[in-house]
Amino acid sequence: MEKQLITNRLSIIGMDALVANTTHLQQIIDLYRSFYSQTFRVSPDIFHSTILTTPKTQWMLAIVDTFNGMVVGIVNANIEYSFLYNCQSICNVTDFIVHEEYRRQKVGTWILEHLEHYARRHSCRILRFISARPSELFTPFFTHHEYTIVQPSIAERYLGNSGSFSV
């Protein structure tokens, strides 16, 4: 059966709502495990307390299919100030996973667009994705979106702004 695009059903759940929903917390952990396998050992309790203490520069969220309430994607983004980039901010995304059953339906693209908007809103000069696990899916996805593949597990896009840049 041909897959249908489901992006009109997607909704972003932020940190506050995440900690209040144990089902979502467990689904997020399952999603991490599906990609990182059993090496991902974080329990719901640790996840819960970590989210509660994350700084405001971190944007951790889940993407939920409102049709069935299922977590279909996760993102963990951090904004940091970089001396290398003239003391301007860059946005590093360390976790970006779409549920296997939801891939190739533009969910990743939908999330990427939101991340770019978020990074621009926070005046970030660069949006950078760093994968802790080599994945054959990394390059095709980011190449499709015209990102620069800096290394096999690092892709970035220059978002631009008015400041000067020298390294």
Q: How far is the CB of 97 from ligand COA (least distance, A)?
A: 4
Q: How far is the CB of 117 from ligand COA (least distance, A)?
A: 16
Q: How far is the CB of 86 from ligand COA (least distance, A)?
A: 26
> Nearest to ligand COA by Cβ — which residue?
108
Q: How far is the CB of 134 from ligand COA (least distance, A)?
A: 9
Instruction: Kindly state the helix (H) or strand (E) to which residue 161 belongs, with its residue range.
Output: none
Instruction: From 116, 113, 139, select the one nearest 126 (Cα to Cα).
Output: 116
Query: 88-98 and 148-151: which strand pairing?
Result: unpaired
Q: Which is nearer to ligand COA, 85 or 129 (CB)?
A: 129
The rounded distance, in Å, linking the Cα atoms of 20 and 24 is 9
Q: Which is nearer to ligand COA, 24 or 108 (CB)?
A: 108
| Structural contact between residues 71 and 99, judged by C-beta atoms closer than 8 angstroms | yes
Binding footprint of ligand COA on the chain (CB under 6 A) = 35, 96-98, 103-109, 129, 131, 135, 137-138, 140-141, 144
Q: Which is nearer to ligand COA, 38 or 162 (CB)?
A: 38
DSSP string, 93-149: EEEEEE-GGGTTTTHHHHHHHHHHHHHHHTTEEEEEEE-SS--TTHHHHHHHTT-EE
Q: Which is nearer to ligand COA, 35 or 85 (CB)?
A: 35
Q: Which is nearer to ligand COA, 22 or 34 (CB)?
A: 34
Q: How far is the CB of 11 from ligand COA (least distance, A)?
A: 16
Instruction: Kindly state the helix (H) or strand (E) to which residue 62 belongs, with its residue range.
Output: strand 58-65
